[in-house]
Structure formats: C-alpha cells, structure tokens
Amino acid sequence: MVKINLLPHREETRKQRGKAFYALLVLGALVGVGIVIVGAGLLEGLMHRQEQRNNVLRQENKRLDGEIKKVATLKQEIESLRARQQAVEDLQGDRNQPVYLMDELVMQTPEGIYLKSLKQDGQRVVLVGYAQSNERVSEYLRNLGNNSQWLERPDLKEIKAVTLGQGKQAKRIFDFTVDVGIKRPRDKELVSSKVPGGATPVGGVQSATPVRSMAPSPVGAGATKH
C-alpha cells in the first residue's frame, strides 16, 4: 500500500537549513571574536614585555652614560695630575741645568773659541764670543749639535769680523752669536731610551777640550756671566 505525505516537508527542510546556517554563522562570529580577543591579549603581552625590555635598556644606557662621564672626569683628573707631576719633575731637573750647561760648554768648545757671555732664556741659551775663523765657529756648531748630550739645535744668529786691540797688538777675529737649546733630563732619557744600550744618541765621542781664550786679555770681556 502506498503512503503519501501531504505535509509541507520542503518548507520545513528550508527552515531547518536556515536555522543551521544562522547557528553556524553565530558560532563562526563567536570563534572569530574569541580569536581576536586571544590575539589582542597575546599582542598586548608581547608589547608589555618589550616595553619592559626597553625600560631596562634605557636604565642601563643612563647608567652607562653616568659611568662614561665619570671615566671622562677621571681622565681629565689623571691628565691634570700628570701635568702637575711633570711640572714638578721639570722644576727639579731644571735646578741642575746650569751645572750641565757649564760642563757641556767646557767639553764642546774647541780651541780658538772664546766665550765672553751667555744668557739662558727658558730652554734656549744665547752664546756670545770670539772665534779665530769661520771654521772654528762651524766646528763649534757641529760639536753643539752632534756631540753634546745636553745641548741641541744650535742656530748661528750673527757672525762678523772685528778688530781686537790696537797697533801691533791688533788682531782680526770674528764676533759671533749662537742660540742653542738645552735639554731637560726627561728629554735626554727619552732620546737615550730609543738608542740601543742607552748610548749617546748622536755622535758617540765627546770633546774634552776646555774653553780657551784666543788672547790673554780681551778688551772688556774677561768674565763669563749667566
């Protein structure tokens, strides 16, 4: 026997499908909102942790900046102390400069040179004297520049021919002025440290010739002054 369903089953099926569609739509919306909320929470947490790291880095940078300033201040203080120490050492070393100067002048002045005056101005010394010839002055300059441990960089300022005495006693000589530098003990030690064995930096032999006078009694120039 054949059964016939006379109820509107198609409309009922459509309603059920619509309800299922809307249910899935609501469920998808809820899932999407949940994903957004969870993602926003994760992102907020990451941003918070990164901000904490940034704060730590800022604090460390400030601390390092303070230490750098302290180091710069310490460097300035060290340089100031070194300058003061060097000034004290220079003062102590300069006390013996007249002794070194006179000793070197005695050893480096060749025969035929007569010094009538000398004047020290800082680390430079002006020597004024007489010479028998130009060759004697050249030899003197070589001695001061090459053989001396305490004198350096001689500079001939002036040389001129003059006549000393009168009549038969008159002699033609050369009046010269030489400007020469005198080393400090620290300068000498610095140069010696660069030479193997601490030998004399330039020249190796020192002249032992004392300061000699060309004439028994030059006019008005009997004493050497400092």
pTM of the model: 0.46
pLDDT classification of 118: cutoffs 50, 70, 90:
confident
Tell me how far apart the alpha carbons of residues 161 and 184 are, in angstroms, rounded to a whole number: 34
- Mean per-residue pLDDT, 103-129: 87
Which parts of 95-167 fold into alpha helices (H)? Answer: 97-108, 134-142
Of the candidates 146, 44, 156, 150, the one whose C-alpha atom is nearest the C-alpha of residue 93 is 150
Q: E strand or H helix at 116, and its extent? A: strand 113-121
- 224 has a pLDDT exceeding 50: no
Single-letter amino acid, residue 3: K
Indicate the burial class of 59 (C-beta count within 10 angstroms; 0-12, 13-18, 19 or more).
Answer: exposed
Give the rounded percent of residues in the chain with a pLDDT score beyond 70. 76
- Start-to-end CA distance of the chain, whole Å, equals 154
Specify the pLDDT at position 197.
47
pLDDT higher than 60, residue 103: yes
Residue 144 near residue 126, CB atoms below 8 Å: no
- Are 167 and 109 in contact by the 8 Å Cβ rule? The answer is no
Dihedrals phi, psi of 113, to nearest 5 degrees = -115, 135
Contacts of 203 (CB under 8 A, 6+ apart): 146, 147, 148
Which DSSP letter does residue 8 get?
-
pLDDT, mean of residues 190-197: 50
Phi and psi for 147 in degrees, rounded to 5?
-100, -10
pLDDT tens per residue across span 133-174? 888 888 988 888 888 888 888 988 888 888 877 777 778 888
Tell me the per-residue pLDDT of 21-34, one tens digit each, with 9 for 90 and over: 888 888 889 999 98
Q: What share of the chain is helix, strand, coil (3-state, %, to 5)?
A: 55, 20, 25
- Measured CA to CA, the distance from residue 183 to residue 94 in angstroms comes to 9
Averaged pLDDT for residues 123-142: 89
Q: What is the pLDDT of residue 120?
A: 84
